[in-house]
């Protein structure tokens, strides 16, 4: 009898422990879900149940163009009640035969096997996007590639800006200021990860098109910026040394705009050499206000991010877009205008 009481007491204690552990596990799961929604997922649980689950694979390096794309994706995802999960891959390339790092491929595989409702991925120029599109199609996952420019082989549902129009507009601004006397130096993106040859570069082709159409000015020198942090400054200094007749610079990124401006300031050439920049951040806004940069042609990267999510929404609704989605740019002028 005494032995029976001991066994019964042991069973009761064990049952209490199991109930306690169950309650504690439920508590931990609840906290984990809340923390996940605050960090990995952009759609907090406080907003209710999300309609869709979106995974975005994006570069981690800082640039206003990329930052605005990310912001646009986030804003449109929130507006459409879509839970957004983000993987950031580094800018360095360590995969043979690709302009993407190994982490980008790994994140893509994770995303595919997670079977989300939609997938958005940013690609550097020259990357073979077709292999990603084909795999997403095999797994029946709606996929929207995003890039600064459409690759040589266009893909349906692709969202991009238009560097051809960017170069065309930049050259037009220079001609408007200097006319036939315009002598341009153009700084193009670095050769890594950008793979366009000079004859393929959309920005350069746009500038050449405008100069030939207007019959004024000419391009004196073209340089790619080096991958190093001072790549833009070095490219600008080299062109000024080899071609002192240059009286205007066209830039293709916020980085090159700031770098060229620094060289012009250091050499006391503000007002003597025009700078037509690209995109915009706090530093470029300050340079515009001070008249160091005469104008900047800004890609609407925020709209690009929103367009990527809206493209997914069209796919979810059964009306996928058939062509390329190109987002326009706008020009902002300095204080002297």
Instruction: Classify the C-alpha dihedral 86-92-95-97 as positive or negative.
Output: positive
Phi then psi dihedrals of residue 171, to 5 deg: -65, -35
Do residues 305 and 73 touch, judged by C-beta distance below 8 A? yes
* Predicted pLDDT of residue 95: 53
Show the domains of the chain with their CATH numbers. Answer: 48-161+301-329 (3.40.50.2300), 163-299 (3.40.50.2300)
* Predicted pLDDT of residue 140: 94
Query: 273: which DSSP letter?
Result: B
Cα(143)–Cα(251) distance, integer angstroms:
32
* Predicted pLDDT of residue 49: 72
Q: Residue 260 belongs to what H/E stretch? A: helix 254-266
* Predicted pLDDT of residue 38: 42
Cα(72)–Cα(97) distance, integer angstroms:
31
Do residues 173 and 217 touch, judged by C-beta distance below 8 A? no
Contacts (Cβ under 8 Å, ≥6 apart) of 245: 183, 220
> Roughly how many angstroms between the first and final C-alpha of the chain, as a whole number?
101
* Predicted pLDDT of residue 15: 62
Query: 80: which DSSP letter?
Result: T
Cα(249)–Cα(47) distance, integer angstroms:
48
Phi then psi dihedrals of residue 108, to 5 deg: -65, -45
* Predicted pLDDT of residue 33: 42
How far, rounded to the nearest angstrom, does the alpha carbon of residue 98 sit from its chain's CA centroid? 18
* Predicted pLDDT of residue 45: 46
Q: Which pLDDT tens digits describe the chain residue by residue (337 residues)?
A: 555 655 666 566 566 666 565 665 555 444 444 444 444 455 444 445 778 999 999 998 778 888 899 999 999 999 999 999 999 998 765 555 567 889 999 999 999 999 999 999 999 877 888 889 999 999 999 999 998 887 666 566 789 888 899 999 999 999 999 999 999 999 988 765 555 677 788 899 999 999 999 999 999 999 988 777 778 899 999 999 999 999 999 999 888 999 999 999 999 999 999 999 999 889 999 999 999 999 999 999 999 999 999 999 999 999 888 788 889 889 999 875 4
**Among candidate residues 255, 253, 94, 103, the one with its CA nearest the CA of residue 166:** 253
**Among candidate residues 200, 205, 249, 244, the one with its CA nearest the CA of residue 225:** 249
* Predicted pLDDT of residue 142: 95
Strands annotated E in 169-246: 183-188, 218-224
Contacts (Cβ under 8 Å, ≥6 apart) of 112: 119, 135, 136, 139, 141
């Amino acid at each position: 009898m005494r032995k029976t009481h001991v066994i019964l007491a042991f069973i009761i204690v064990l049952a209490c422990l199991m109930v306690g552990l169950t309650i504690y596990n439920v508590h931990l799961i609840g906290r984990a879900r809340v923390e996940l929604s605050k960090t990995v997922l952009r759609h907090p649980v406080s907003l209710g149940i999300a309609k869709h689950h979106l995974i975005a694979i994006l570069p981690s390096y800082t640039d206003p163009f990329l930052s605005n794309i990310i912001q646009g994706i986030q804003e449109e995802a929130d507006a459409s009640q879509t839970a957004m999960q983000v993987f950031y891959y580094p800018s360095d390339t360590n995969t043979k035969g690709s302009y993407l790092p190994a982490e980008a491929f790994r994140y893509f595989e994770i995303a595919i096997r997670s079977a989300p409702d939609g997938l958005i991925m940013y690609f550097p120029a020259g990357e073979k996007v077709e292999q990603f599109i084909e795999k997403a199609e095999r797994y029946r996952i709606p996929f929207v590639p995003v890039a600064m420019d459409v690759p040589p082989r266009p893909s349906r549902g692709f969202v991009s800006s238009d560097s051809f129009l960017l170069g065309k507009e930049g050259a037009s601004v220079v001609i408007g200021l200097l006319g036939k006397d315009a002598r341009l130096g153009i700084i193009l993106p670095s050769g890594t990860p950008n793979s366009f040859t000079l004859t393929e570069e959309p920005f350069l082709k746009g500038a050449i098109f405008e100069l030939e159409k207007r019959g004024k000015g000419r391009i004196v020198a073209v340089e790619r910026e080096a991958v190093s942090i001072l790549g833009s400054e070095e490219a600008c200094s080299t062109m000024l040394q080899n071609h002192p007749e240059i009286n205007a610079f066209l830039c293709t990124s916020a980085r090159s705009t700031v770098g060229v401006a620094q060289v012009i300031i250091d050499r006391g050439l503000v007002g003597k050499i025009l700078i037509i920049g690209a995109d915009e951040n706090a530093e470029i806004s300050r340079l515009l206000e001070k008249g160091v940069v005469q104008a900047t042609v800004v890609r609407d990267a925020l709209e690009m991010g929103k367009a990527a999510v809206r493209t997914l929404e069209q796919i979810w609704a059964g009306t996928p877009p058939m062509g390329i989605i190109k987002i326009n740019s706008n020009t902002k002028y300095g204080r002297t205008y």
